[in-house]
Amino acid sequence: MAFQVPSVTIEELLDSASPVVDVRTPKEFAEFRIPGAVNLPIFSNEERVQVGTTYTQEDPNSAKHLGLELVSGKLPELFQQIKALYEEKGERVIIHCWRGGMRSRTIVALMNSLGVPCCQLEGGIRSFRRLIVQELDVFAETAPRFIVIEGLTGTRKTDILEHLRQEGYPVLDLEGMAGHRGSAFGAIGLTQNSQKQFENLLWQRLHDLKNAPYILIEAESKRIGNVILPDFVLERKWSGARIHMSYPFQKRVKSLHEEYEPEKNEQEFRAAVARVEKRIDARIRKELDEAMEKRDYFQVISILLESYYDPRYRFSADQYDTPVVEIQMEHFQEGVDQVKRAIEELSGMKNVEKC
């Protein structure tokens, strides 16, 4: 296809108010996407596999003919959807696929021929991926120092950070970006993000916080579910000042029970317990199995904390040698208030700048 269509760069896209249409498959869109883009796929997940198989096993022309057959019946609805976006925004529509190839070029040419102003993203979403990688390298050098919220499992660190984020504090929610809580139980009730989408969300948030005097994060290991943290995030975590939170044991158990809802998510919860108990002493394993058999999930959580999670956490915490503020809390709001005071102390600011 040698014809030319109007195009924009990724920088022009991000700087515009134009609606963005992603014509890739739902699977591709779920893995990684441009903020605010609308997914109007011209192929289903299965259809794209069909076209790709035809391309490799037969020839490019056969793949094109198959693609035309699969798309032709969808074009009237696709036209109406893109036209509606143009009329709603009053801006030309930017259309993209993976690398700025046939899928987006064909739709742009068709829409323009039918009177709906459209243009193609140069290089497709791959150009967005390249931009993210480049700018994360810049953030690695320029990101402000971190203040790390730490504490044993169940001390409501994530809840407190979310509360602070809603109040405008510069919080980097790594678990939220990963779609995982960072333990064997971390995926229960959540949808995990791909590495690419995690880095997309990280890039967006760091861009928002580029002028913040500090960034608040929760202490995380190198891996959160399927996602691996960039080295510069880990380095700033290890060198950052710390706020260490303590919370009564039974309240930690109750907090984790409310978070994971084992009665509701029983299959996932049991699978997570099975993964963890392999690493626990045989005597404790027997006690754990008995509690699982009785569906005494409060006891299960208690055993896991005492015999597995707390010892692992204490070992990891001993590796730090950075400044720390100790917090003892009995209630959630008390914890929030104490963390705010600790932030003031560690940042040297009485009027904490918010973002």
Q: In sequence order, what are the residues at sequence separation of 6 or more whose Cβ sits closer than 8 angstroms to the Cβ of residue 214? A: 144, 145, 146, 147, 170, 343, 346, 347
Q: How far is CA 179 from the centre of its chain?
A: 5
The structure tokens listed for 189 are: 């009730």
CA distances from 347 to 85, 191, 213, 240, 243 (A): 46, 34, 8, 11, 12
**Cα(213)–Cα(88) distance, integer angstroms:** 39
Q: Report yes or no: 179 and 30 within 8 Å, Cβ to Cβ.
A: no
Helix intervals (H) in 173-277? 174-178, 195-208, 231-239, 249-260, 266-277
**Cα(148)–Cα(236) distance, integer angstroms:** 9
Catalytic residue, from 97, 118, 119, 355: name it. Answer: 97
> E strand or H helix at 216, and its extent?
strand 215-218
Helix intervals (H) in the chain? 10-14, 26-31, 45-57, 60-72, 75-89, 102-113, 124-142, 157-166, 174-178, 195-208, 231-239, 249-260, 266-277, 282-293, 297-304, 310-317, 332-347
Among residues 135, 109, 124, 122, the alpha carbon closest in space to that of 28 is found at 124
First to last CA, the chain: 47
Q: Report yes or no: 342 and 325 within 8 Å, Cβ to Cβ.
A: yes
**Cα(269)–Cα(246) distance, integer angstroms:** 25
**Cα(266)–Cα(252) distance, integer angstroms:** 20
DSSP letter at 189 equals T
Give me the amino acid identity at 199.
E
> Is 97 in the active site?
yes
The catalytic residues are 97
